């Protein structure tokens, strides 16, 4: 099937959803970018997943998707539509859902998450899981690839939700994330807890724990995992399902540890830590984007194809490494020669961790509209590149640029400029080009 998927680009599913571009998949499923009509009459990007409808469980899967569509939680990927379709005599099921920007598995080939990052990531995942369990479902596929960032929110996938089931006579294929009882086909909230424990080990060490199922002993917890995660992982990876913590107990333990840590700090430091924690929490989804540059094309990352080179009227080159001129500020600002048309440039301030994830070059192109006084009246991404993080800081920096005043014959006209930021591990280059359009 994997060779067939891409051939369906441009086709329409369900009479409404065009398969705009193939984003990725496997022999068993494929994900395409599509557009969905909004209530206001516009359209927005969505992801559409296709799977073959050839098994006896096809109708059950469709029912699960339609049931999950009724579940609304800010930390769950939202499902908009589900149904059947046929392409080239192939019977398929489809599900339309929110189009996520990044997923947690993308960062792991480059580095493990820090303890602080896990403390930011874990609470929304726990809230989503608690909501799923409270509504009578199990997730069944807790792993980094199913933890997503959409805007400033962390979300858990919802297209694989199932109802709890007892042992089945049909043994299921197991993965490295599955608990001992998975071989019997059992689906339970306790199995989700086990998978969460394995996921915590992976995001903190970059490795999935290896253990011998035949010996029926729990995986060994790596020494690198510290508290409070060490105790949480240990409680998750209990061979006896009845001894595993529930999601509420994990949440309580995490909150208790936070409270104890706060009490151990001096009062002045405590206030600063709380403020810093709130600030970092809002930024967590962008940390996922730091390594999007090393992903080939994960099924929920949409790359914008750069357009052709602009028509140059005049340009200015900013030296490499300028982004490091003022590491204490959000952006570094420097005056330049106004003869080039640029009076002030603002360079993106790249964090050392972000800089270290770059492989080759990341290019972000921003188009500007400049008023008669030389101020940026409007800035928009023309080519966003592969990472939200670098696109965001490039756009923020571009808004602070200043250009020379308009000539007498240009008064009242909006001038057009394009900036191209090129990020490498050693620095940042930028070129400024005035264009006719």
pLDDT at 25 over 70: yes
pLDDT > 70: percent of the chain: 79
pLDDT at 209 over 70: yes
At 265 the pLDDT is 57
Asked: is 1-99 a CATH 3.40.50.300 domain? The reply is no
Fold of 314-435: 3.30.1150
Asked: is 102-302 a CATH 3.40.50.2000 domain? The reply is no
* pTM, full prediction: 0.62
**What tens digit of pLDDT does each residue of 326-366 get?**
333 345 455 554 457 899 999 998 888 778 778 778 889 99
At 136 the pLDDT is 94
More confident residue, 412 or 166: 412
Residue with tokens 């930011």: 120
**What tens digit of pLDDT does each residue of 214-236 get?**
777 889 999 999 999 999 999 99
Residues of the chain with CATH 1.10.510.10: 102-302
Token representation of residue 36 = 């969905």
At 167 the pLDDT is 47
Residues of the chain with CATH 3.30.200.20: 1-99
At 139 the pLDDT is 96
Q: In whole angstroms, how large is the CA radius of gyration of the chain?
A: 25
- Of the ranges 82-96, 174-188, 289-303, 383-397, which one carries the lowest mean pLDDT score? 289-303
pLDDT category of residue 436 using cuts at 50, 70 and 90: confident
Q: CA 162, CA 256: separation in Å to the nearest integer?
A: 31
Q: CA 30, CA 28: separation in Å to the nearest integer?
A: 7
**Max Cα distance, the chain (Å):** 84
More confident residue, 292 or 75: 75
Residues of the chain with CATH 3.30.1150: 314-435
Q: Which long-range contacts (CB under 8 A, 24 or more apart) does 353-357 make?
A: 353/111, 353/290, 354/290, 354/389, 354/390, 355/423, 355/425, 356/425, 357/110, 357/111, 357/290, 357/291, 357/293, 357/294
């Amino acid at each position: 099937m994997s060779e067939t998927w891409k051939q369906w680009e441009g086709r329409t599913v369900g009479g409404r959803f065009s398969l705009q571009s193939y984003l990725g998949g496997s022999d068993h499923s494929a994900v395409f970018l599509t557009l969905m009509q909004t209530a206001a009459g516009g359209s927005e990007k969505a992801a559409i997943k296709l799977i073959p409808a050839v098994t006896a469980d096809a109708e059950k899967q469709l029912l699960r998707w339609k049931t999950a569509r009724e579940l609304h939680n800010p930390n769950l990927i939202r499902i908009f539509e589900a149904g059947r379709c046929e392409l080239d005599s192939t019977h398929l099921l489809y599900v339309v859902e929110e189009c996520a920007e990044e997923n947690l598995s993308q960062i792991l080939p480059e580095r493990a998450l820090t303890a602080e990052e896990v403390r930011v990531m874990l609470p929304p995942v726990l809230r989503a899981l608690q909501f799923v369990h409270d509504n009578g479902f199990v997730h069944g596929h807790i792993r980094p690839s199913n933890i997503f960032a959409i805007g400033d929110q962390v979300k858990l996938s919802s297209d694989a939700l199932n109802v709890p089931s007892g042992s089945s006579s049909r043994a299921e294929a197991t993965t490295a994330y599955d608990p001992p009882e998975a071989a019997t086909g059992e689906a339970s909230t306790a199995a989700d807890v086990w998978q969460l424990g394995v996921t915590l080990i992976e995001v903190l060490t970059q490795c999935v724990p290896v253990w011998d199922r035949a010996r029926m002993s729990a995986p060994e917890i790596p020494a690198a995992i510290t508290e409070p995660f060490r105790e949480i992982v240990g409680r998750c990876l209990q061979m006896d399902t009845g001894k595993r913590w529930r999601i509420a107990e994990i949440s309580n333990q995490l909150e208790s540890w936070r409270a104890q840590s706060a009490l151990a700090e001096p009062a002045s430091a405590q206030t600063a830590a709380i403020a810093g924690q709130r600030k970092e929490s809002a930024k967590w989804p962008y940390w996922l984007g730091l390594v999007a540059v090393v992903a080939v094309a994960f099924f929920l990352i949409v790359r914008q194809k750069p357009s052709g080179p602009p028509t140059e009227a005049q340009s200015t080159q900013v030296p490499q490494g300028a982004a490091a001129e003022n590491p204490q500020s959000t952006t570094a600002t420097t005056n330049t020669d106004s003869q080039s048309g640029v009076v002030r440039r603002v360079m993106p301030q790249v964090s050392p961790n972000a800089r270290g994830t770059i492989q080759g070059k990341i290019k972000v192109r921003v188009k500007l509209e400049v008023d008669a006084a030389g101020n940026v009246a409007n800035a928009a991404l023309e080519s966003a590149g592969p990472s939200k993080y670098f696109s965001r800081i490039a756009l923020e920096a571009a808004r602070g640029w200043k250009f020379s005043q308009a000539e007498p014959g240009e008064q009242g006209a909006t001038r057009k400029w394009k900036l191209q930021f090129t990020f490498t591990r050693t620095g940042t280059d930028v070129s400024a080009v005035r264009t006719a359009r």
